[in-house]
C-alpha cells in the first residue's frame, strides 16, 4: 500500500506524533483517530479537505431490480413504446397519459429523458453534477435477486468471496481494521462492506446505537457508564481478549456519544420525508462531524415491480431522487461537495417488454448514476439496443466492475486491478 | 511429550467453576444447579455426560419435518410445457413461468426462516448440547449458504448430516459431504464433468475442509482432484453418480497414482498428516482458545497432541473430545474466558444458563443476524471468521441489547423484535445461597452472580461498581434487583467471553 492513499499517513504519525504514539496503547482507537486528525492539521492540512485520502464514497443501493428503461427513458426509440404499450413514459414533448406525466429532458439528440418523478436528479443534471452510465451489467446475467446482488456486492460473477469495498479497505489498512472506516445505515451491513480484515459497522438509527438497558431504570445508567468507559482494567493483559473487549466497549460509548450528537444537530438545509432521505441525512451529519469514515452505504427497497408499476415505481424514484438532491444541497452548505461522490445501483434492470400485469419481470442491464461536483456530468456510453436482445433482455454495454475500477482508481486512489482481481473496460467519470 | 500435553485434570481439581467452564465450552452453558450436579459427579462422569450424549434421550428429528417439495425440480410434463414456451418465445407463458418460480422462491424463503427458528429452539432445549454445538462447528467448517443454493430442504438435509456425524467420524463425514446435494450445488460440482471440469469443490476440499491453504498440495493436485470428482452430482434430494460424466483416467494426486474417484481422492487427502493437524487446529480454536496470533509453544504442543489422538482413533472425534475436555490444559487459567462468544453462543447460553424466557425465536434469529451470524447464510465458503471479528462498536451494543431483551422482554423501540411480557424469574440463580429465613446476603449474592455470569472471578473494581449500585437500591436481593444486576453484568465487556 502506498501511504499516500492511507487516510492518516503512518509516517506523518511517526514524525509528528511521538507523544501520541506513546499514548497509543492506553487511549481508545476512537480517540487515536481524533488525535491523528490533529496530526493532519499539524501537517498543514486543516481538515484535510481536497486530499484524496479525505474523499468519501456513498453507495446507494436500490433493492429489487430497478426498471432502467422507465428510469432513463429512451424516448427516441420506437421499440420502447412497442414493448411498453401501457407503461411507456411519453417523450418530453409528448402527451401525458393519466397522472404520470412526460419524461424530463436529458439529451434531445440521443433521445433520452428521465422519469418524471426524478425531478431531483434532473436538477442535479442541469447543475452538472449527475453522470448517467448507460447499459451497465455483466456477462451471463443472473436473474435471482440474491445472487445478482451478491455478484454486484462481491464484484465477482460467481457471487463468491468478500465484498468489493471490504477488499478496498483490506488493501489499504496494513492488517488492522480502520475503526468506523465504513458505515452502513440499515439493519444489517451489506456484504459489499465485508472484508477479511475490515468489518463495517451498521445501525438503523442513531438512537439504536446505544445501550437500551437504561430505559429500564435511570439508576442503571451511571454504573453502566462506569463499567463501559473504564477502558482496560489494571490487572488485564494488553493482548488478552478481555482487553480487546474493554477497549471496544469504550470505543462504542464514545462512538455512540459522537454519532448521536452529530445526528441530533439540525441540518443546514431542509430535507424531504422518506426513509432514504433520513438515511442520507444521517450520512450528511456524520460527514459534517468529520468522522473518519471513507464509505457510507444506504439502501432503498421497493423496486421489484412485477405489477401495476407506474405509481409505485414513480414513488420510489421520487423519494430517492429528492433525497439525493437534498443530500447534495446539504453537502454544498457544508462546503463538502468536492469530497463526496454518490453511486447509485440496483442488482439488475427489468425485461424490455412489460408483462400482462402492467409491470416488468427480472431483466439484466440498467443505467447507473454517479453524483457529485467532481464527476464528469452527462450521459456516458451507448444505450443498449432494444432489438438486438438476449432472449428478451438487454445486452450490457458497460461492465459494472469497470465503474468500480474507475471509482477505486480515480476517486479512492486504490489499486483497482488488485482489489477487483482483474482489469475491466472503464468509463472515466471522475474529473481530473 | 504429546501425551503429556493432554494429561488429565486431577479429579479433585474439578470444582464448580471448572464445571461452569465445561458446560460453556462443550455446550451452551448451564444453570447453577446443573453446574453443581456436574461438579458433584466428578470430571469423568461429567465429561461422559456431555460427550457420550447418546445416553441422553432426545427427540429424533423427523426426515420430513420440512417440506421437500417446494423447490423440487419440474416434472417431465412441466418440462415439456416450459420447453415449448421457450421455443415459441411465448412471452406470456414465459412470464407466467417466471412468476411461478418467484412464488416458489418466496415460499422457500419462508421455510428457511422456519428452519432458523427450529434450530435455535433445538440448541436452547437440547439435552445434548455438544451434539448441536458440533453441528454448528461443522456448519461453519463445511460452510454452505442458502443464498447460493436457494433450497431450504437441502440445507435441512445437510444440517441433519452434521448432527448425525456431530461427534462421529470426521473421515466418514468427509465422504458424505462430497455426496451432499447442498454442498455439490454450492461449490458447483453438479457442473463438474469430464468434458468441462469444475475445480471449485476440489480446491475448497483441500484448502478449507481438510488440509488447509498451502499445506502440501499443488495446483496440479487440485486439477487432478477435480477430475476425480467429475460426475458427483445429485437428483432431487439424493446423490447421483453420473458415470457418463466421470473421468476414469489415472490421476496423480500428492504423489499417489490411481484411477481415483471422489472417495479415492479423499482417501489420499485423509492419509496426510496435515489433515489431522488442520482439523485439530480448528477444533482448538472452537473449543479451547481463539486468541489471535501465532500459537504459543504450549498451544502448538496441545494441537499436535490433539492431531495425534485424531490419527490414532482414525478420525473418531469422541476420544479426542473426551481427552480435550478432561485435560488439565483445557481448564488452565490461560484458557478460561479465552474465547469470544459467537452470536449463537451468546444468545443460546444466556437462555440456557440464566433460564430467561425464550421470548420470540424470530427475534433471537434476527438478533444473531444483526450480530453477524445468520445461520444457513454463512458469509462465504470459509464460514464465519469468528473470534475478534464478531466484535465492533455496533455489534457490541446489539450484544448488550439482546440481553436486555431476554432479561426483561422489553421491546427495544425500532428493532423489529416483539415485545414480550413473560416475566423472568431469576431467583433460582441464588437459591443455593438462601439463609434459613429465605433471604440472600446481598454481598455474597452479588459476588456469586458476577462469578457465574462472567464464568470467572470478577475484578474487584467490577464487584465494587455493581455492589454500590445494588446497595443504593435497597437491602434485599429480590427478583427485580437480581435482574438489574444481571442487566449490568451482561453489559460488561468481559461478558462476551466464555
**Whose CA is closest to B340, among B372, B295, B388?**
B388
Q: What is the DSSP letter of A371?
A: E
Question: Distances from the Cα of B266 to the Cαs of B260, B262, B322, in angstroms?
Answer: 9, 6, 26
pLDDT of residue A43: 35
Alpha helices in B126-232 (DSSP H): 129-141, 146-149, 152-164, 170-177, 181-186, 200-204, 219-228
Interface check B482 vs A, CB under 8 A: no
Residue ranges of B 11-30 with Cβ closer than 8 A to chain A: none
What the block records as the C-alpha cell of A70 is 422507465
Burial class for B369, CB neighbours closer than 10 Å (0-12, 13-18, 19+): middle
Residue A226 lies in a domain: no
Q: Is A306 helix (H, G, I), strand (E, B) or coil?
A: coil
Residue ranges of B 431-460 with Cβ closer than 8 A to chain A: 459
User: Is residue A78 within 8 Å of A114, Cβ to Cβ?
Assistant: no
Whether B459 sits inside 8 A of A235 (CB atoms) is yes
CA A114, chain centre distance (Å): 21
User: Is residue A183 within 8 Å of A293, Cβ to Cβ?
Assistant: yes
pLDDT of residue A17: 31
Counts of helices then strands in chain B (DSSP H, E): 23, 4
pLDDT of residue B432: 92
User: Is residue A347 within 8 Å of A149, Cβ to Cβ?
Assistant: yes
**Whose CA is closest to B449, among B380, B495, B496, B386?**
B495
Phi, psi of A415 (to 5 degrees): -75, 100
Residue A224 lies in a domain: no
Residue ranges of A 154-183 with Cβ closer than 8 A to chain B: 159-162, 179-180
Residues 6+ away with beta carbon under 8 Å from B450: B458, B462, B463, B466, B489
Residue A6 has pLDDT above 60, yes or no: no
Domain match, A272 and A350 both: yes
pLDDT of residue A196: 86
Task: State the residue for C-alpha cell 497509543.
Answer: A24
Beta strand pairing status for A378-380 and A130-137? parallel
**Whose CA is closest to A393, among A144, A132, A153, A143?**
A143
Rounded-to-5 percentages of helix, strand, coil across chain A: 40, 15, 45
Rounded-to-5 percentages of helix, strand, coil across chain B: 60, 5, 35
Residue A35 has pLDDT above 60, yes or no: no
For residues B257 and A425, give the distance between their C-alpha atoms in angstroms, rounded to a whole number.
44
Counting other chains too, the contacts that B267-275 makes at CB distance below 8 Å and 24 or more residues apart are B269/B174, B269/B205, B269/B206, B269/B210, B269/B211, B270/B171, B270/B174, B270/B210, B270/B315, B272/B211, B272/B216, B273/B307, B273/B311, B274/B211, B274/B212, B274/B215, B274/B216, B275/B210, B275/B211
Domain match, A307 and A388 both: yes
Q: Is B71 helix (H, G, I), strand (E, B) or coil?
A: coil
Residues 6+ away with beta carbon under 8 Å from A207: A260, B413, B414
Domain match, A204 and A286 both: yes
Domain match, A62 and A16 both: no
Query: Torsion-angle region of residue B251: left (phi > 0), alpha (psi -120 to 50) or beta?
Result: beta
Residue ranges of A 341-400 with Cβ closer than 8 A to chain B: 353, 355-356, 361-362, 391-392
Which chain A residues contact residue B487 at CB under 8 A? 213, 216, 220
User: Is residue A165 within 8 Å of A159, Cβ to Cβ?
Assistant: no
Domain match, A173 and A38 both: no
Alpha helices in A302-414 (DSSP H): 309-333, 400-406
* DSSP string covering A199-250: --EEESSGGGSS-SGGGT-GGGHHHHHHHHTS-S-TTS-TTSHHHHHHHHHH
Query: Which of A101-110, A310-319, A350-359, A367-376 is the least confident region?
Result: A350-359
User: Is residue A353 within 8 Å of A70, Cβ to Cβ?
Assistant: no
Burial class for B106, CB neighbours closer than 10 Å (0-12, 13-18, 19+): exposed
Write down the ipTM of this complex: 0.95
- Taking the CB of residue B287, how many other CB atoms lie within 10 A of it? 21
Residue A216 lies in a domain: no
- Taking the CB of residue B452, how many other CB atoms lie within 10 A of it? 23
Average pLDDT per block of 10 residues along chain B, 498 residues long: 82 96 98 96 97 92 95 89 84 81 93 98 97 98 94 98 98 98 96 94 96 92 97 97 97 97 98 97 97 92 97 98 98 96 98 96 92 94 92 93 92 62 92 93 95 92 94 88 96 97
Give the domain-ending residue among A37, A52, A67.
A52
pLDDT of residue B98: 79
Which chain B residues contact residue A228 at CB under 8 A? 491-493
Residue A39 lies in a domain: yes
Radius of gyration of chain A (CA): 23
What the block records as the C-alpha cell of B494 is 468481559
Which is more confidently placed, B213 or A420?
Answer: A420
User: Is residue B141 within 8 Å of B282, Cβ to Cβ?
Assistant: yes
Look up the domain containing A67 and give its range: 55-209+254-420
Whether A162 sits inside 8 A of B379 (CB atoms) is yes
Radius of gyration of chain B (CA): 25
Residue A155 has pLDDT above 50, yes or no: yes
Task: State the residue for C-alpha cell 454519532.
Answer: A259
User: Is residue A316 within 8 Å of A303, Cβ to Cβ?
Assistant: yes
CA angle B468/B469/B470 to nearest 5° reads 95
**Whose CA is closest to B97, among B110, B111, B79?**
B79
**Interface contacts A/B by beta carbons within 8 Å:** 161
pLDDT of residue B82: 85
- Over residues A266-295, the mean pLDDT reads 96
Domain match, A111 and A144 both: yes
Burial class for B467, CB neighbours closer than 10 Å (0-12, 13-18, 19+): middle
Whether A392 sits inside 8 A of B98 (CB atoms) is no
User: Is residue A98 within 8 Å of A406, Cβ to Cβ?
Assistant: no
pLDDT of residue A144: 85
Which is more confidently placed, A36 or A426?
Answer: A426
B408, closest residue in chain A (CA to CA): A216
Alpha helices in B233-386 (DSSP H): 262-270, 273-287, 297-312, 317-326, 343-354, 361-370
What the block records as the C-alpha cell of B372 is 453477524
Burial class for A337, CB neighbours closer than 10 Å (0-12, 13-18, 19+): middle
Alpha helices in B126-169 (DSSP H): 129-141, 146-149, 152-164
pLDDT of residue A306: 86
Domain match, A21 and A68 both: no
Domain match, A39 and A1 both: yes
Residues 6+ away with beta carbon under 8 Å from B245: B192, B193, B194, B195, B230, B231, B233
Residue A223 lies in a domain: no
Residues 6+ away with beta carbon under 8 Å from A294: A7, A55, A56, A57, A169, A178, A181, A182, A412
CATH of residue A72's domain is 3.40.720
- Taking the CB of residue B377, how many other CB atoms lie within 10 A of it? 17
Whether B393 sits inside 8 A of A233 (CB atoms) is no
- Provide the domain count of chain A: 2
* DSSP string covering B384-444: ---GGGG--HHHHHHHHHHHHHHHH----TTSSPPP--PPP--GGGGGGG--TTS---HHH
Residue ranges of B 371-390 with Cβ closer than 8 A to chain A: 372, 374, 379-381, 385, 388-389
Q: Is A314 helix (H, G, I), strand (E, B) or coil?
A: helix
Domain match, A59 and A40 both: no
Phi, psi of B417 (to 5 degrees): -100, 150
Domain boundaries, chain B: 2-51+272-335, 343-408, 427-496
Phi, psi of A244 (to 5 degrees): -60, -45
Which chain B residues contact residue A147 at CB under 8 A? 147-148
Determine the residue among B213, B295, B380, B393 to mutate to test chain A binding: the one whose Cβ has the most chain A Cβ atoms within 10 Å: B393
Domain match, A68 and A83 both: yes
pLDDT of residue B386: 93
User: Is residue A417 within 8 Å of A169, Cβ to Cβ?
Assistant: no
Per-residue pLDDT tens over the stretch A370-398: 999 999 999 999 999 999 999 889 999 99
What the block records as the C-alpha cell of A119 is 425531478
**Lateral strand order in the sheet of A104-107:** A72-73, A112-114, A104-107
What the block records as the C-alpha cell of B25 is 465450552
Domain match, A388 and A358 both: yes
Whether B408 sits inside 8 A of A246 (CB atoms) is no
Nearest to A244 among B388, B414, B459 (CB): B388
Domain match, A24 and A71 both: no
pLDDT of residue A356: 82
Residue A243 lies in a domain: no
Whether B148 sits inside 8 A of A147 (CB atoms) is yes
Query: Torsion-angle region of residue A321: left (phi > 0), alpha (psi -120 to 50) or beta?
Result: alpha
Interface check B77 vs A, CB under 8 A: no
pLDDT of residue B415: 57
Task: State the residue for C-alpha cell 436538477.
Answer: A123
Task: State the residue for C-alpha cell 448488550.
Answer: B400
For residues B466 and B485, give the distance between their C-alpha atoms in angstroms, rounded to a whole number.
7
Amino acid at each position: 500500500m502506498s501511504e499516500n492513499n492511507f487516510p492518516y499517513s503512518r509516517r506523518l504519525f511517526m514524525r509528528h506524533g511521538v507523544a501520541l504514539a506513546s499514548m497509543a496503547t492506553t487511549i481508545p482507537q476512537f480517540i487515536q483517530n481524533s488525535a491523528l486528525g490533529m496530526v493532519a492539521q499539524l501537517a498543514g492540512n486543516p481538515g484535510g479537505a481536497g486530499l484524496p485520502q479525505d474523499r468519501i464514497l456513498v453507495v446507494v443501493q436500490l433493492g429489487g431490480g430497478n426498471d432502467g428503461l422507465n428510469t432513463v427513458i429512451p424516448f427516441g426509440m420506437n421499440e420502447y413504446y412497442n414493448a411498453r404499450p401501457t407503461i411507456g413514459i411519453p417523450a418530453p414533448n409528448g402527451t401525458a397519459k393519466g397522472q404520470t406525466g412526460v419524461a424530463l429532458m436529458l439529451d434531445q439528440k440521443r433521445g433520452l429523458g428521465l422519469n418524471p418523478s426524478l425531478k431531483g436528479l434532473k436538477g442535479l443534471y442541469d447543475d452538472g453534477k449527475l453522470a448517467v452510465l448507460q447499459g451497465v451489467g455483466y456477462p451471463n446475467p443472473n436473474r435471482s435477486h440474491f445472487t445478482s446482488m451478491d455478484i454486484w456486492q462481491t464484484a465477482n460473477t460467481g457471487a463468491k468471496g468478500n465484498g468489493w469495498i471490504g477488499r478496498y479497505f483490506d488493501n489499504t489498512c496494513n492488517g488492522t481494521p480502520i475503526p468506523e472506516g465504513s458505515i452502513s445505515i440499515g439493519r444489517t451491513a451489506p456484504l459489499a462492506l465485508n472484508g477479511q480484515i475490515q468489518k463495517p459497522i451498521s445501525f438503523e438509527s442513531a438512537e439504536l446505537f446505544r445501550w437500551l438497558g437504561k430505559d429500564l431504570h435511570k439508576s442503571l445508567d451511571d454504573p453502566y457508564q462506569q463499567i463501559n468507559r473504564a477502558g482496560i482494567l489494571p490487572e488485564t493483559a494488553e493482548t488478552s481478549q478481555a482487553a480487546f473487549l474493554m477497549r471496544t466497549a469504550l470505543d462504542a460509548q464514545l462512538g455512540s456519544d459522537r454519532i448521536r450528537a452529530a445526528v441530533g444537530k439540525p441540518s443546514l438545509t431542509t430535507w424531504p420525508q422518506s426513509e432514504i432521505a433520513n438515511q442520507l441525512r444521517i450520512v450528511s451529519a456524520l460527514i459534517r462531524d468529520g468522522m473518519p469514515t471513507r464509505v457510507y452505504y444506504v439502501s432503498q427497497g421497493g423496486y421489484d415491480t412485477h405489477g401495476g408499476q407506474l405509481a409505485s415505481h414513480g414513488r420510489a424514484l421520487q423519494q430517492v431522487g429528492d433525497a439525493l438532491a437534498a443530500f447534495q444541497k446539504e453537502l454544498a452548505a457544508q462546503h463538502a461537495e468536492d469530497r463526496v461522490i454518490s453511486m447509485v445501483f440496483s442488482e439488475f434492470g427489468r425485461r424490455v417488454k412489460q408483462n400482462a400485469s402492467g409491470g416488468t419481470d427480472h431483466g439484466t442491464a440498467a443505467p447507473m448514476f454517479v453524483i457529485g461536483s467532481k464527476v464528469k456530468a452527462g450521459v456516458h456510453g451507448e444505450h443498449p439496443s432494444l432489438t438486438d436482445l438476449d432472449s428478451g433482455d438487454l445486452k450490457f454495454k458497460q461492465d459494472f466492475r469497470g465503474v468500480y475500477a474507475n471509482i477505486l482508481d480515480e476517486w479512492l486512489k486504490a489499486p483497482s486491478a488488485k482489489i477487483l482481481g482483474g482489469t475491466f473496460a472503464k468509463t472515466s467519470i471522475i474529473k481530473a | 511429550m504429546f501425551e503429556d500435553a493432554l494429561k488429565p485434570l486431577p479429579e479433585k481439581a474439578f470444582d464448580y467453576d471448572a464445571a461452569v467452564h465445561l458446560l460453556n465450552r462443550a455446550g451452551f452453558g448451564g444453570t447453577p444447579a446443573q453446574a453443581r450436579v456436574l461438579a458433584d459427579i466428578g470430571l469423568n462422569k461429567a465429561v461422559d455426560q456431555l460427550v457420550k450424549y447418546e445416553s441422553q434421550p432426545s427427540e429424533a428429528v423427523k426426515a420430513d419435518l420440512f417440506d421437500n417439495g417446494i423447490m423440487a425440480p419440474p416434472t417431465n410434463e412441466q418440462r415439456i410445457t416450459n420447453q415449448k414456451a421457450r421455443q415459441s418465445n411465448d412471452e406470456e407463458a414465459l412470464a407466467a413461468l417466471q412468476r411461478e418460480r418467484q412464488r416458489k422462491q418466496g415460499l422457500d424463503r419462508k421455510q428457511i426462516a422456519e428452519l432458523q427458528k427450529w434450530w435455535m429452539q433445538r440448541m436452547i432445549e437440547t439435552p445434548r448440547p455438544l451434539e448441536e454445538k458440533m453441528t454448528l462447528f461443522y456448519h461453519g467448517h463445511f460452510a454452505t449458504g442458502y443464498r447460493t443454493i436457494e433450497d431450504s430442504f437441502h440445507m435441512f438435509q445437510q444440517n441433519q448430516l452434521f448432527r448425525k456425524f456431530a461427534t462421529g467420524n470426521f473421515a466418514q463425514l468427509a465422504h458424505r459431504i462430497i455426496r451432499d446435494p447442498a454442498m455439490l450445488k454450492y461449490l458447483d460440482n453438479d457442473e463438474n464433468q469430464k468434458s468441462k471440469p469444475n475445480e471449485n469443490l476440489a480446491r475448497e476440499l483441500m484448502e478449507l475442509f481438510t488440509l488447509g491453504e498451502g499445506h502440501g498440495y499443488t495446483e496440479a493436485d487440485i486439477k487432478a482432484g477435480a477430475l476425480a470428482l467429475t460426475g458427483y452430482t445429485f437428483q432431487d434430494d439424493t446423490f447421483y453418480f453420473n458415470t457418463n460424466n466421470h473421468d476414469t483416467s489415472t490421476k496423480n494426486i500428492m504423489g499417489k497414482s490411481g484411477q481415483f474417484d471422489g472417495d479415492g481422492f479423499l482417501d489420499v487427502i485423509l492419509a496426510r498428516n496435515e489433515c489431522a493437524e488442520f482439523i485439530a487446529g480448528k477444533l482448538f480454536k472452537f473449543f479451547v482458545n481463539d486468541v489471535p496470533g501465532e500459537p504459543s509453544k504450549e498451544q502448538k504442543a496441545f494441537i499436535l497432541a490433539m492431531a495425534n489422538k485424531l490419527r490414532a482413533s482414525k478420525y473418531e472425534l469422541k476420544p479426542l473430545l473426551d481427552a480435550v475436555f478432561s485435560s488439565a490444559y483445557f481448564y488452565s487459567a490461560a484458557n478460561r474466558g479465552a474465547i469470544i462468544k459467537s452470536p449463537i453462543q451468546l444468545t443460546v447460553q444466556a437462555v440456557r444458563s440464566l433460564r430467561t424466557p425464550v421470548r420470540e425465536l424470530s427475534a433471537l434469529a434476527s438478533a444473531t443476524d444483526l450480530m453477524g451470524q445468520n445461520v444457513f447464510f454463512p458469509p462465504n465458503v470459509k464460514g464465519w471468521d469468528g473470534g475478534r471479528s464478531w466484535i465492533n462498536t455496533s455489534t457490541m451494543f446489539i450484544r448488550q441489547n439482546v440481553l436486555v431483551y431476554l432479561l426483561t422482554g422489553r421491546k427495544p423501540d425500532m428493532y423489529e423484535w416483539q415485545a414480550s411480557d413473560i416475566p423472568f424469574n431469576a431467583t433460582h440463580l441464588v437459591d443455593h445461597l438462601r439463609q434459613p429465613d429465605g433471604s440472600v446476603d446481598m454481598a455474597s449474592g452479588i459476588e456469586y452472580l458476577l462469578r457465574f455470569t462472567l464464568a470467572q472471578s470478577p475484578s474487584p473494581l467490577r464487584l465494587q461498581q455493581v455492589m454500590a449500585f445494588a446497595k443504593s437500591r435497597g437491602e434485599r436481593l429480590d427478583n427485580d434487583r437480581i435482574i438489574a444486576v444481571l442487566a449490568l453484568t451482561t453489559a460488561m465487556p468481559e461478558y462476551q467471553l466464555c
